Amino acid sequence: MVERLQRAIGPRTRIVGLTWVHSCSGVRLPMRRLTQVVADANRNRDEHARILVVLDAVHGFGNQEETLAQLGCDFAAAGTHKWIFAPRGTGIIWAPAKNWGLLRPTIPTFYSPEPFSAWEEQQPPKPPTQAAWVSPGGFKAYEHQWAMAEAFEFHHAIGRKRIAERIASLNSQCKEGLAGIPKVKVLTPRDPMVSAGIICFQVEGQTTGETVQRLLGHKVIASSSPYKMSYPRLAPSLVNDEDQVEAALRAVRASA
């Protein structure tokens, strides 16, 4: 992965878009090594030519020990209804403070008086852009915002390290179990260094939809990756335990 990124970066490269954990395969990228490649490429570039790293963090945010600030990216976006367990439809955009000035807000927001006042005066807001300026305009679903705060507090109380270790343990148990079932092929790497909380697999002779429906018949909720090449997925998380992982494995064994 590192070598491919090194080869792909050229003089015209301005943005490198990366996905922390791929929902189609469960593969987790070695983010620090990849962002270091970009940092090395930026070393001899002027500020206006600097390459930005934009990260889709949705399936790593909430199940990994690293913070977004430790990954070396310039902007990161993540839904928080997946691994944080905030309400569906909630999410975050993160950036170092210095990077907000690179953006131009397009919608007057109620989160800050400056852009709204500028809109009323039909003038652009005075730079530099602040983080609050890029939030969408209008009133928010306050119940969702309050619930988000509770969800983050819940994770903070447990600690990122404990959460990451727990999810890695449950997923390793699940991958090892799936690998031992005849007619089942595990597509996600077993190595926790390049995997996270999603496990993609195949059952010989079954379509993805058939596998998901058969597991639902055993009261196991699986999902399918929403791509042209779609696979059944299991994702043990904080709301699961070892017995439930074993129950899911029994259901896969029975449906296979």
Least confident range of 73-82, 137-146, 179-188: 137-146
**Residues 31, 151 share a domain:** yes
pLDDT of residue 160: 95
Lowest mean pLDDT among 110-119, 169-178, 198-207, 226-235: 110-119
- Number of DSSP helices (H) and strands (E) in the chain, helices first: 7, 8
Report the alpha-carbon distance of residue 35 to residue 135 in Å, rounded: 26
Q: Are residues 182 and 239 in the same domain?
A: yes
The residue from 123, 158, 193 where one domain ends is 158
* Whether residue 141 sits in one domain with residue 85: yes
CATH of the domain at 86: 3.40.640.10
Name the DSSP class of 7: H
Using one digit for the tens of pLDDT, what is the confidence trace for 62-111?
999 999 999 999 999 999 999 999 999 899 999 999 999 999 888 888 88
- As a whole number, the mean pLDDT across the chain is 94
8 and 89 inside one domain: yes
113 & 223 share domain: no
Tally of domains within the chain: 2
Give the tens place of pLDDT for each residue, 9-53: 999 999 999 999 999 999 999 999 999 999 999 999 999 999 999
Residues 31 and 138 in one domain: yes
Identify the pLDDT of residue 227: 87
Instruction: For residue 233, give its domain range.
Output: 161-255
> Edge-to-edge strand order for the sheet containing 223-224?
184-186, 199-203, 232-234, 223-224
Q: Domain with 173 in it: what CATH number?
A: 3.90.1150.10
Domain boundary among 158, 174, 191: 158
Mean pLDDT for 156-183 is 97
Band of pLDDT at residue 188, cut at 50, 70 and 90: very high
Residues 201 and 133 in one domain: no
- One domain, residues 140 and 192: no
Domain boundary among 158, 179, 197: 158
List the one residue out of 181, 179, 248 whose CA is nearest residue 189.
179
Whole-model pTM: value is 0.91
